[in-house]
Amino acid sequence: MSISYVPVVDEAYKKAVAGLRKDMREFIKEKNCAPLMLRLAWHDAASYCKKTRTGGPNGSIRLEAELNYKPNAGLRTAVGWCEEWRKKFPLVSFADIVQLGGVLAVELTGGPAIDFMPGRKDSSISTPEDRLPDPHKDAAHLRQLCDRLGLRDKEIVVLSGGHTIGRAHKERTGFEGPWTREPFKFDNGYFKELLGAEKEGLLRMPTDKALVMDAGLRKYVEAYAKDNSLFLRDYAAAHKKFSELGCRETSPSFALAVTAAEAAAKHSGSRRGSGGSGAAAGSLSNQLSLSLLGQSAVGIAATVLVCILGYLYEMRRRAA
């Protein structure tokens, strides 16, 4: 069952995100820069390490040291745009701006709508350069990447499908050209091209080739090449997960919202078959509100108890 998390951000933050979304949509359409915004979102998120719980989509790509990493070549322009949006919408974190840009990039090129949850915290610490993907390497590198990020083979393959939009630039990556004939159309064209013969003018990097040379990865390539709906559905889920890596540990709003979602899922599971799953998902916001109210009530009760004990102590002292 799919559960939409409830972000624990205030109304002012939600309003700012809504305004930002509208502004970014118009800008990305006008500049035709969806591929660059998606690449920026990927590179900020790809620095996550599940073992150390560091990095991830925390806006650290804006830091000069990290922006100067070789794999991030060409992203300075997009970071500059995000800095301008930050000035216009100062309530919204840089990390949220970057990831919202990635979500809109997919949507505006015909891809799936991806559930966006705001509330990421910005980091002031750059992550190591070697955490970023290296397009010159093989399937072993992809699996090491999966392990560090906490992703499955299926997820790294479907996320690679994002190469269906955009093109590589030699001065940035050492490679040149688009992966498909329609580099501004988000569909399963990338996987179809991978299963066919190499074509002049279309790019195929070593990491792209690894997806079809490795049997464990190729089965997903074949599945997505056959079924565009399957690709779009799985991509939306993987992108959301990727864009939230580590947020539960660093952003209180994510931790509380995820906890509430898990509680609703567990409750729904216990009622499965009785028609209760929809009600559980639909009442998630109420559960979260009740949780917050409960926490406040506990705090008030504790304060009252301290006052009563203090009063009794004073009365006893006077009587003595």
- The model's pLDDT over 247-283, given as tens digits with 9 standing for 90+, comes to 877 776 666 665 656 666 666 666 555 554 444 444 4
The confidence score (pLDDT) of residue 247 equals: 87
Catalytic residues: 43
Distances (CA, A) of 262 to 210, 211, 289: 36, 33, 15
Among 6-15, 28-37, 129-138, which stretch is predicted with the lowest mean pLDDT?
Answer: 6-15
Q: Is the pTM of this model over 0.85?
A: no
- What residues does CATH 1.10.420.10 cover in the chain? 139-239
**Which fold is adopted by the domain 139-239?**
Peroxidase; domain 2 (1.10.420)
> Which of 241, 239, 23, 225 has the alpha carbon at shortest distance from 111?
239
pLDDT band at 18 (very low <50, low <70, confident <90, very high): very high
> Which of 216, 211, 118, 96 has the alpha carbon at shortest distance from 159?
211
Joined together, the tokens standing for residue 178 give 């688009």
pLDDT band at 9 (very low <50, low <70, confident <90, very high): confident
Among 11-20, 113-122, 222-231, 309-318, which stretch is predicted with the lowest mean pLDDT?
Answer: 309-318
**What's the CATH number of domain 11-129, 3.30.300.280, 3.90.1150.10, 1.10.520.10, 1.10.645.10?**
1.10.520.10
DSSP assigned state of 9: -
How far is residue 311's CA from residue 271's CA, in Å, rounded to a whole number? 48
Cβ 24 vs Cβ 85: under 8 Å: yes
- What residues does CATH 1.10.520.10 cover in the chain? 11-129
The answer to whether residue 14 scores a pLDDT higher than 60 is yes
- Mean pLDDT across the stretch 187-213? 96
Joined together, the tokens standing for residue 170 give 């030699």
- Mean pLDDT across the stretch 286-309? 49
Strand partners, 178: 167
The confidence score (pLDDT) of residue 106 equals: 98
Provide the percentage of residues in the chain whose pLDDT is more than 90.
71
State the chain's mean pLDDT as an integer.
85
How far is residue 233's CA from residue 235's CA, in Å, rounded to a whole number? 5
